[in-house]
Structure 1
Amino acid sequence: MGLFSRNNKIEKPEVVLELRSPSCPITAIVEQDNRTAYFYLFGDNEDFGVKSCWIRNLTVAPEEIEVKLMEKGVPPMLTKEFCKFPQGQETLNKDNLEIVWLEEGDGAALLENGEVLCVIPSWGGGGEFYGYARDCKGEGYFAWELSVDNEMYKRVKSAISFEKAWDDERNPFQLLQPKILDYYDEIFGKSEKYYAIDNSEWPPKGLYVYEGPEKVVFATVAVSLRSQPKIEMYFENPNEVNRIELGIILKSGLTNEQTNSVASFVSGITAIPWDYITFLAEGHTIEFQTLVSEKFKYGVLTNKLKVLPQMNVPAYGNSKTNFLWIVPVSDTEWEVMKESGSQFILDKLDNIGEEIFNLEREEVV
């Protein structure tokens, strides 16, 4: 049975365009019926859910919000007061459209003939802010105006450049990888061990392993090519923390099997931000599931301990790379961190110096 609004039968929405995020488990979809067009981001996990942003009305805008239609799950038109084109605009044509994923992979823009129509950034999609739309004016119910000075234009341009760079003769990974490896060789010592940890999927990334007489160093290579999702929802200066490399230092004496186990563990951690649409930052804790220790089953991410090398890793473009060391902690230490935050345990770990690399150490609580 069809729904009726102002004597017009509402057609079932059709999918005009669809594109999967290259980084996160999210699909972008453009849909329109005979009244209105919307941009959606559908996340595979419940935490992300569905985000939506109005694109344009295709017929005369209503004076009031179409509450009854919304209750039936029908996409509402934007009201007249917020429409730059209150009489409606032409139907979207798939051939003129392009979806561009922002570099983090959890936000996207819709372009028409190269011009940005709307954007859903990481903090958009619901609540009081859905996204930005070119054809909205002011702060509408289902979109805000995409003003000419909006930062999103730069972000979209940057995302397009980043995507195109992978077609260059020397892509971003080929430019960055040798610089990072040279830096690690210089800081820790020349290493012959290097693992590709990308499972032959985009983007390429690697793991450097240096087995010294006293310590074994594991450090990721080119994880920093991608900005982490969600950062800008929590940090005022996201560019300071959105790109990371990870590392761990352990006391020498690991068997080959243990070395491979730690390498595999670090490799898995590098996928967390994009697979789970989250981020890793100072003081965060993770599970430390390896064959190396029964006692230390968690790790805290930090670069604040005096004994840890202060890293200044070569970065891609004008970015900054934040290097986070994984310091193994016990169940008890982890419980204290959960209750009281990481700083108390980090202060205690700072006091034991190089013992943090020793998986036979005493607990600090």
Structure 2
Amino acid sequence: MGLFSRNNKIERPKVILELRSPSCPITAIVEQDNRVAYFYLFGDNEDFGVKSCWIRNLIKAPDEIEVKLMEKGVPPMLTKEFCKFPEGQVAVNAKDLEIVWLEEGDGAALLENGQILCVIPSWGGDAGFLGYARDCIGQGNFAWELAEDNEMRKRVKNAVSFIKAWGEEENPFQSLQPKILNYYDEVFGESVKYYAIDNSEWPPKGLYVYEGEEKIVFATVAVALRPQPKIEMYFEDSSRINRIEIGIMLKTGLTNDEINNVASLISGITTIPWDYITFLGEGHTVEFQNIVSEKFKYAILTKKLKLLPPMNVPSFGDSQTNFLWIVPVSDREWRVIKESGSQVVLDKLTAIGEEIFNFEREEVV
């Protein structure tokens, strides 16, 4: 008899609902057979893999984990001790369901008639934790209880509000963009150039450019609309660093082609957190393959250099906005950062003063 024949009453799981993340290369799927329903996140890259969370049993819960079925790739039911409804529940129905992506784009919640059924946050799949489920009691093998005071309830509510806000007369970008531009104008001077750097994709974002007598300043606008993925797995309070804007200050005198090239590179850097499901922070390095200099093909992100002004960019949501300066570094400097940490190179860059803005400077290591 085949595993999925009618005689042993195990059907192949069917896809009930599917939705692509608006930010990250991840797809959320609800699957259900005649015994159990599951919520999955499928990542396009191997690092993310597949994350799963139990939703509900449709028949009486087993006393023990269905190890033999799991070995054959069959989704297991949650055991009786962790089930709020040990006798089983009715099957989920697509018309009652809604998938809500968390603001970071790397986690999602499944709602039934507006009520949260389960959530897979960014740390789902880590250290034995898979996700939270409304109909679970305690810490089960395939889901943990979604308590009334669970922080994820607020996070899902915020995500719903964020999505809804894009349909308002003044959407989040239209609200934040002028505040940031006015701030940059006050700090650096009124800009003469502004680039849209979103490639006509959601959410919109821009780049302010100011050309002064001595320096040219580039600074992003509204990248901070989305908190970065994965960051909360590494920091207990990520609210000071999860939303970013980035910029670079260079010696004036760049050609139009060079300005456009730098703008394009900055645009590319702003996509890294969501394209690769990661985050950018103090001391991180990125590629910076520019046409201005053969020597400086990397950059360090920092706000620790004294010559770079501390920024207090208008914030969005419950977080502060962390402004990181892009400082070009050479291959040798990049290798030292990788091997010994960023502080050694940052100290030496501080020592050379205004030369940090110059693509023709000498290497510091």
- TM-score range (shorter-chain normalised) is over 0.9
Counterpart Cα distance in 2 of 1:54 and 1:355: 57
Counterpart Cα distance in 1 of 2:305 and 2:236: 24
- The equivalent of 2:189 in structure 1 is 189
Counterpart Cα distance in 1 of 2:67 and 2:9: 17
Shift of 1:180: 0.5
Q: How does 1:333-344 map to 2 (within 5 A)?
A: 333-344=333-344
Counterpart Cα distance in 2 of 1:245 and 1:297: 21
5+ unaligned residues in a row in structure 1: which ranges?
Answer: none
Q: State the Cα deviation string for residues 118-138 of structure 1 (Å, max 9, x = none).
A: 000000035500000011111
Shift of 1:352: 1.5
Which secondary structure state, in structure 1, belongs to the residue aligned with residue 239 of structure 2?
A: helix
Question: Which structure 1 residue ranges, 4+ long, deviate > 2 Å from structure 2?
Answer: none
Aligned 8 A contact 2:4 2:11 in 1: no
Q: How does 1:280-299 map to 2 (within 5 A)?
A: 280-299=280-299
Counterpart Cα distance in 2 of 1:188 and 1:15: 53
5+ unaligned residues in a row in structure 2: which ranges?
Answer: none
Note if 1:167 corresponds to 2:167.
yes
Q: State the Cα deviation string for residues 148-187 of structure 1 (Å, max 9, x = none).
A: 1100000000000000000000000000001111111111
Which secondary structure state, in structure 2, belongs to the residue aligned with residue 195 of structure 1?
A: strand
- Structure 1 length-normalised TM: 0.98
Counterpart Cα distance in 2 of 1:8 and 1:239: 51
Which secondary structure state, in structure 2, belongs to the residue aligned with residue 238 of structure 1?
A: coil
Counterpart Cα distance in 1 of 2:35 and 2:136: 16
Counterpart Cα distance in 2 of 1:254 and 1:192: 15
- The equivalent of 2:153 in structure 1 is 153
AA partner of residue 183 (structure 2): Y
Counterpart Cα distance in 1 of 2:125 and 2:15: 18
Number of residue pairs matched?
A: 365
Q: Measured at CA, do residues 127 and 31 of structure 1 come closer, stay the same or move farther in structure 2, by a change above 3 Å?
A: farther
Q: State the Cα deviation string for residues 235-285 of structure 1 (Å, max 9, x = none).
A: 111111000000001101111110100000001100000011000000000
Which secondary structure state, in structure 2, belongs to the residue aligned with residue 364 of structure 1?
A: coil
- The equivalent of 2:142 in structure 1 is 142
AA partner of residue 268 (structure 2): G
Aligned 8 A contact 1:30 1:39 in 2: yes
- The equivalent of 1:357 in structure 2 is 357
Q: How does 1:192-207 map to 2 (within 5 A)?
A: 192-207=192-207
- Percent same amino acid at aligned positions? 79
Q: State the Cα deviation string for residues 51-91 of structure 1 (Å, max 9, x = none).
A: 00000000011111111111111100011111111111100
Q: State the Cα deviation string for residues 188-218 of structure 1 (Å, max 9, x = none).
A: 1111200001111100000001111100100
- The equivalent of 1:327 in structure 2 is 327
Aligned 8 A contact 2:239 2:318 in 1: no
Shift of 1:340: 0.8
- The equivalent of 1:111 in structure 2 is 111
Aligned 8 A contact 2:242 2:319 in 1: no
